Amino acid sequence: MAAKRIQSIAVMTGGGDCPGLNAVIRAVVKTAINKYRLNVWGVRDGYLGLIENRMERLAYNDVSNILTVGGTILGTSNTANPFRFAVQSGPRMQYKDVSDRCVRVLAEGGIDALICIGGDGTMATAAEFAKKGLTVMGVPKTIDNDLYGTDVTFGFHTAVTTATEAIDKVHTTASSHHRIMIVEVMGRYAGWIALYAGVAGGADVILIPEIPYEPQAICDYVLERSRRGKRFSIVVAAEGARAKDGQMVVSKRIAGSPDPIRLGGIGPVLADQIAECTGLECRAVILGHVQRGGTPTPYDRTLATNFGHTAIELLMKGQKDHLVVLKDGRLSSIPLRRVAGRIKTVPHNHEMIRAARAVNTSFGI
């Protein structure tokens, strides 16, 4: 039997926001209306809007003037998983599978396909919906750049730019005060932002989750620089960095969230450790959500536009349950089931690590 022709689609943004989400929404909506005359619906606040049936029609003009705007006009949520939806019951949290409700909401709205713009959590849920018979298409988002299957996610380039600008600014104050400055960037399980911003900003030490560090090695390195007359050092640490015999620094736990752990605070921990073992003055700066804001860079705008357009083209060609990816410089797609539950970490032999080592950057080991 021939696949049903797609006439109506819904689009949603899930997980943490990132620069370029609006550029994808714009490309999806404009391509769908302009080229294929589809009906387009926007789901509010990620999967939460699906659970609560909060959708609205999107017209061509609704996506005008949003290409350069950070955030998402649809809103997002990183705490709602329809297959394990947290409901407060007295003092306790109960988890319910409300995925059938979401399928019903889409069916009743006459929606033939759902475009899910998100990271690993959003794609894992999209893959579950695909198993239930929904036609879904994923678009890879996250500043962390850790989504499996794609060389790059949109948002990453902007976050690296923001982090690099911050490192550049920290550099001058570090040098004026002869201090060790630690810049903590985002990156829970993958250190892509720390690696790229660290290299771009000329960090002396880069700490990433993939390479657990030895505090003494950092201190030795900084003291050696000091002996050579370099009276300041810049350490860039991913929030998920941890010592060889230590744990990640958890700042809070969000009850009911699919991934309840929120990191943050490795910077001040390192500042204390390095101050103690070197006797040098240390300060820490946590960049946090600043990295998720702002206008997307031209690279992210173009990548996001390509991803959004490709998502519609693939759907109209009859493809479903795939993630649009950029692989070896080419736009293509891979099945969502291959993405679910995996993340793309930095390989120890990555060319950027080799380049950083070649210019004498320490990874704290």
User: Would residue 144 show up in a list of annotated catalytic residues for this protein?
Assistant: yes
Q: What angle do CA 271, 272, 276 make, to 5 degrees?
A: 115
Decide: 132 and 156 in contact? Cβ < 8 Å. no
User: Annotated catalytic residue: which of 45, 120, 144, 204?
Assistant: 144
From CA 27, how far away is CA 18, in angstroms rounded? Answer: 16
Output the smallest distance, CB 240 to ligand F6P, in A: 8
- Measured from the CB atom, the residue of 158 and 233 that comes closer to ligand F6P is 158
* Rounded-to-integer distance, Cα 259 and Cα 16, Å: 12
Least CB distance to ligand F6P at residue 65 (A): 26
Least Å from the CB of residue 302 to ligand F6P: 22
Q: In whole angstroms, how close is the CB of 257 to ligand F6P at the nearest point?
A: 7
Angle between helices 156-177 and 192-200 (to 10 degrees): 50
Pairing of strands 8-13, 113-118: parallel
Q: Is 54 or 188 the residue whose CB approaches ligand F6P more closely?
A: 188
| CA atoms lying within 13 Å on the CB side of residue 54 | 12
Q: How far does the chain reach from its first CA to its final CA, in angstroms?
A: 59
Residues that bind ligand F6P (CB under 6 A): 16, 78, 119, 142-144, 186-188, 239, 262-263, 292
Which residues are bridge partners to 32 per DSSP?
none
CB nearer to ligand F6P: pick between 112 and 239: 239
Tokens of 359: 């210019």
- Residue 25 or 263 with smaller CB distance to ligand F6P: 263
Active-site residues, by number, are: 144
